[in-house]
Structure 1
Amino acid sequence: MIELRVLTADDWLVWRELRLAALAEAPYAFGATLAEWQGDGDREERWRARLGIPGSRNFLALLDGEPAGTASGVPGPRSDVVELISMWVRERARGRGVGDELIRAVERWAAGRERVTALQLAVMRGNEHALALYRRNGFEVTGRLGDALPDGRREHVMTKPLSHALEARLPTEARSLRE
């Protein structure tokens, strides 16, 4: 069974555990590196600050009660865009719907925000499993590349219009009347 939980800055230890595992297991998938988040970078205030980005929402997926993955929604480059970042699912939880549930959680949250009409993400070139997951969930490659990372790599930018954003903000009674 998949359960979703919203993380706050007080949940920094569980998020730290999963983020370090993600950076160790899939260094090719992220712009950040494990080395940047270890040593001097491994500080409680830094982890809390990451979970406390103003206007963000961070999700933890539990599979059969065990932490299985994370995803975050943060303000995007424009006020009508939310970015999906830090998406990762533990290897043993893959293929069981955890990634889909995390994406849907960020999408529902983004659709409920005023003036947000699109969800955007960046995915590393060659990360075919992630590309398939995002495509299956309605994202399309835009043809734009993200900013150059320190090592010169650039990510593909993908987007999903939230045409149902207004619908998600309507009270339940109003939605049922329209159906």
Structure 2
Amino acid sequence: MELRQLVAEDASAYWELRLEALKTSPEAFGASYEEAMRRDNPIERVKGNLSVKGNYTFGAFDQSKLVGMVTLAQEGNLKMKHRANIFAMYVSPIGRGQGTGKALMRLAIEQARESREIEKINLSVVTSNEAAKNLYLQLGFKVFGTEDMALKVGDTYYGEHHMSLILN
């Protein structure tokens, strides 16, 4: 398994995996597959996002196929630059059970530490996603709040745990 930061040339592979994530795990993301499919120039938008200063998207590759991803995004406002958020964490079923998610998260946490500005990482996880929740707890994240009915997919509501990791 190769782990590395994604670059503009990875935009198509990222978009393909993002669509898979939205389609197979709709309860895990604020965006929907349907919304994603209506986006104009999605590959160009991904290329732009991959080059934003303070944003780091890491990928896990299995024989050159992108099978996992995570984005660490530093807050931009002066009073909040000490914070970053984890977004778009996903590992394809073919990459699961091999420590891929943990390796990606460790890479994101290490990047935050190396930035010397980021002191706290926040993320949200669906309360019913035990595997992800347990991974985050193992890495030192703590739940600081729970939001009922955070997401609605069809007629089903999902709660979210809001979690943070203090780096210092």
Same fold (TM over 0.5): yes
Larger-Rg structure = 1
Cα RMSD (Å) of the superposition?
Answer: 2.4
Which ranges of structure 2 fall in alignment gaps of 5 or more residues?
Answer: none
Shift of 1:51: 2.4
2:8 match: 9
For residue 115 of structure 1, report the CA deviation from its aligned partner.
2.5
Corresponding residue for residue 38 of structure 2: 39
Task: Compare the two structures and name the one with the higher strand fraction.
Answer: 2
> Which is further off, 7-16 or 92-101?
7-16
For residue 122 of structure 1, what is the aligned residue in structure 2? 124
Count of aligned positions: 162
Letter in 2 for 1:86: A
Structure 1 position 88 matched with structure 2 position 82: no
Q: TM-score, structure 2 length as denominator?
A: 0.84
Counterpart-to-counterpart distance in 1, 2:53 and 2:88? 16
Is the 2:22–2:32 Cα contact (8 Å) retained in structure 1? yes
Contact 2:74 2:81 in 1 (8 A): yes
The percentage of counterpart residues that share the same residue type is 32
Query: For each residue in 1:2-51, what CA deviation from the matched residue of structure 2 results, as whole angstroms up to 9, or x when unmatched?
Result: 21121123321011011001111100111111011103445333222332
Asked whether the equivalents of residues 63 and 98 of structure 1 are also in contact (C-alpha less than 8 Å), the reply is: no
Deviation at 1:127, TM superposition (A): 1.6
Contact 1:81 1:119 in 2 (8 A): yes
* Offset, 1:54: 3.2
1:89-131 CA deviation, whole Å, 9 max, x = no partner? 0112111010001001100100011321111111122122211
Aligned equivalent of 1:141:
143
